[in-house]
Chain A
Amino acid sequence: MVEGSILGTEVFPMPFPRPRLPHLRRTSARQVVRRPAVIGAAALAVVVASATFLPDRTTPDEQARTASGPGVQQAQAVGRTEVTPRMRGEIEAVVARGRTIPQRRTAALDKVAVRESLARDLTRCAWLGGQRYCLGVGFTTRTPAEVATSLARTQVLPGRETTGDLDPLAALVRTALLPPRARQAADRRELVRAAESVGKVWQLRQDLEGVEVPVQFRTAQQTSTTTSARGARSGDYPRRSRILRNADTRSQNRTYWCGPATIQMIAWGSSGTKVSQHTWARRLGTTTAGTAITDMVRIVNKHTDYDDEDHAGPYIALDISDYAFHQWYRLMMRHIHDYKAPVVLHPVLEKRYFPYLDDDASGHFQVGRGFDQNPDGRPLLGYYEPWDQSKFDPSEPFIPRVQWRRAYRSYRANQAHFQRNVGV
């Protein structure tokens, strides 16, 4: 059944969570041995570390507050969920539905009727372990009809300055243009990845929405203790927290490369090595139309260790359309402080949300990497901004890639994106 009831009686074995370890950059031993300078630097690093002076760490006060917060429990990321035969059946049913969609040669997306027809045909959702996943869109609480309506009303088509976020209808059309066999393979891969992430979706929904996690998706920690359905609260978190190194930031090299630049900064934080945006663009399948968020999370999972159990678990595109601001902000805190993993932010880059810009642009990607609850003022969000207008014409001055802003503006910019999701 493509859209069915929750699979209530099955047992989905969850991988036993490993102990959380400090995040270490991936560096090969061979590289270190070859370079005496590196050895010296490593020795110095030991000295520095022993001096307990590390950048991007919480202060002792913050650590104490975290440890003694009301009811705080060290967040436990969820590993990959095992894909059961029943899930496989659901996946194959959705893939089979795709076989009836004829391969299109072209698509006149400027015509409303064409968009509506395409959205209706191409919106396909699977019911996986009690969570709905729609191809090209992500995990959502909206019905397939609501998703299709949202896609058909995509308003970026008449024209926006495209900084690189591929609108989902264009992503679906890209799929529709594939030969049937290739399309089925792509659909299957995406759905299997989604099925592997169901445990994480349940975990986040518990944290943020207070829903009860079905027993088969509970972590070992939750199974062994009495688990409250209440999610974490802002008081459970330190005042401020941030991850990643500010030196490891770059602006996008092409107007439509916000996706590759965002992934470049995220992966740089994971491996310690800068890989070219050109390489990331190739891996992401970026075109002049941009990059799809489903490809963004796919690449984070494939090429970084932020998807490990000692970080965030598998990244997903998560629908935040039902989230109030405080829930959205808790999602940021959960990811950044507990998981020590960046968020793929997905706002619209418009002047009403980013008032320093000189004109409106398209959907966009940024790296979410810090928060400051700012008890004397309003909550702040720290992020890396890949967009640098000054690279393309002298109509805006350069500003630093490292930015902090009122989180509520980012929340509204995320909600204003018709896809209303983030990569977490």
Chain B
Amino acid sequence: MAHGTRLRALVLTALAVVLAGCADDPQPETPTSQEPTDPGTGQTVEPTDAPLEWRPTGHPTEQRVVMGTTWSAVVAPGGSSVTLTDGEAETVVAAGAGRQVAEVLLDDAWAVLVMQDRTEQRPSHAVTVDLATGEQRDVVTPEPANGGSWAMHDGNLYYPTWGEGRAWCLATLALKDSNGEEAWCAPPRTGWSGLTASAAGVAMMTFDDARPVACRTVALLDATSRPEPLDGPDPCTAWDVAATDDGAVWSSVPRPRRQEEAELHAVADGTTYDLGPGTTGSLLPCGDSVFFARDPQRDGDPARLMRWTPAHTLEVAYESAATGDVFIAEPACAGDVLTLTVLSERGDEQVWATVA
């Protein structure tokens, strides 16, 4: 190569390096929703319409409502109290000074109400209510942490507690006798969140403190309540997870700067299924199925609640009347009853349905 040519090549290479270094954002920040983001490696599942029988809750959408088979819970504006009612009896549980209602867990037998400290400095105050007798008890041991994720199923409560050396630990408690214990503690520089519980099992997301993005893994709890990482999700990208009788459903967030946009997957009897797009944080086991919200993907699309069934089918359990600017906010489950709040430019609605 001639000297001049070599010099030109060197200059061009240097310039290319400089230019590459100048772009603070080498990846396009805003790929369209149509661009393939997570091609998936499983079997694609096409959804079918199978709407549940939805009915209005009768409450304004500003109120957080959890409907159950017999009982319902209504959180007062501002989270200052929760009213439990079965249509006849009514129990009001106040959050207390400087606290707000952070979690409402409800099924046919129990209600667990978690009152979080406003500044998340003091431990959360949790009250269990035996719906058959009305008896209320505080969750004392292990002491609840000052924030974090809670879940309940079949008389068992799962919640965060601080362990030795400020370890972030999972506590389990039998509601009937308030017998609780520290079940597992996250190793140093790691944490966990996103607890879900159902008849199929308990699941959670674990994560480390890596930067620029934490490495996230989803796991199912084994018989000793220790998380066993799920086999299948791409490394470090998972977010939501719920157990099923023959596997699990999980979400992955392929683009860290689009935190709310997830791709859902299921594994059943060793086969992986691609369930399509969904909203991060919306995955919810309820009854015999697992549900997740899907925002409109194109102009003219409604918001949808998707259902992964034990028969390995994907169904559209709810479809909003509004299209375009509409989303499902924070779906809730009590036993086998779902409550949805749907916010749209054409009017909001809050509805509930039994998972048949």
Contacts and interface: CB of A to CB of B under 8 A. Distances in A.
Interface of A: 44, 47-48, 51, 53-56, 110, 155-162, 240, 242, 245-247, 255-256, 324-325, 351-360, 370, 372, 374-378, 380, 382, 389-390, 392-400, 402-406, 408-409, 412, 416
B344 to A, nearest CB: 8
Given A159-B95, A377-B298, A397-B191, A370 B29 contact: yes
Q: Decide if the interface of chain A is mainly helix, strand, loop or mixed.
A: loop
B191 A399 contact: no
Contacts of B295: 378, 406
Contact of B193 (A325, A352, A397, A400): A397
B33 interface: yes
Contact of A55 (B22, B100, B239, B330): B22
14 contacts: A55-B23, A56-B24, A158-B95, A160-B100, A355-B293, A360-B100, A372-B32, A377-B32, A377-B34, A394-B207, A395-B168, A395-B193, A397-B216, A408-B327
A405 B258 contact: yes
Nearest to A329: B325
Interface string B276-311: 000111100000000001011111000000000000
A352 B190 contact: no
Contacts of A56: 24-25
B120 A161 contact: yes
B150 to A, nearest CB: 10
A356 B145 CA distance: 20
B259 A356 contact: yes
B147 A246 contact: no
Given A376-B32, A405-B259, A393 B298 contact: no
Q: Decide if the interface of chain B is mainly helix, strand, loop or mixed.
A: loop
Most chain B CB within a 10 A radius of its CB, from A47, A247, A404: A404
Interface stretch (B1-9, B36-44, B66-74, B76-84): B76-84
A246 B117 CA distance: 33
Interface string B201-220: 00001010111111010000
Which size bracket describes the interface of B in this complex?
35 or more
A372 B80 CA distance: 38
Given A44-B18, A370-B30, A355 B345 contact: no
B153 interface: no
Nearest to A44: B18
Contacts of B298: 376-377
B57 interface: no
Nearest to B99: A159
A408 B23 CA distance: 29
B193 A246 contact: no
B167 to A, nearest CB: 9
A325 B24 contact: no
A357 B193 CA distance: 10
Most chain A CB within a 10 A radius of its CB, from B23, B239, B343: B343
B146 interface: yes
B148 A158 contact: no
A219 to B, nearest CB: 32
Contacts of B260: 354-356, 405-406, 409
A44 B207 CA distance: 41
Nearest to B262: A356
A393 B118 contact: no
A158 B345 CA distance: 29
Contacts of A325: 325, 345
Given A357-B281, A377-B299, A395-B145, A408 B325 contact: yes
A382 B29 contact: yes
A376 B213 contact: no
B258 A403 contact: yes
B19 A48 contact: yes
Interface in B90-124: 95, 97-100, 102-103, 116-120
A416 B341 CA distance: 14
Given A356-B239, A376-B299, 20 more contacts: A48-B22, A110-B97, A155-B78, A159-B80, A161-B147, A255-B120, A351-B281, A354-B260, A358-B149, A359-B147, A372-B30, A374-B32, A378-B325, A394-B186, A395-B168, A396-B191, A398-B214, A399-B213, A399-B259, A412-B327
A377 B281 CA distance: 21
B160 interface: yes
B148 A395 contact: yes
B257 interface: yes
B330 A400 contact: no
A352 B341 contact: yes
A157 B15 CA distance: 57
Interface string B164-204: 00001000000000000000001000111110000000000
Contacts of A158: 78-80, 95, 99-100
B325 to A, nearest CB: 4
Most chain A CB within a 10 A radius of its CB, from B97, B99, B118, B212: B118
Contact of B98 (A159, A240, A357, A380): A159
A387 B293 CA distance: 24
A382 B255 CA distance: 14
B25 A246 contact: yes
B13 to A, nearest CB: 14
Contacts of B79: 158-160, 360
B324 interface: yes
Given A110-B97, A374-B33, A395-B160, A356 B257 contact: no
A397 B30 contact: no
B50 interface: no
A156 B258 CA distance: 28
Given A377-B32, A404-B29, A159 B118 contact: yes
A51 B100 contact: no
Nearest to A353: B329
Nearest to B281: A355
A295 B275 CA distance: 47
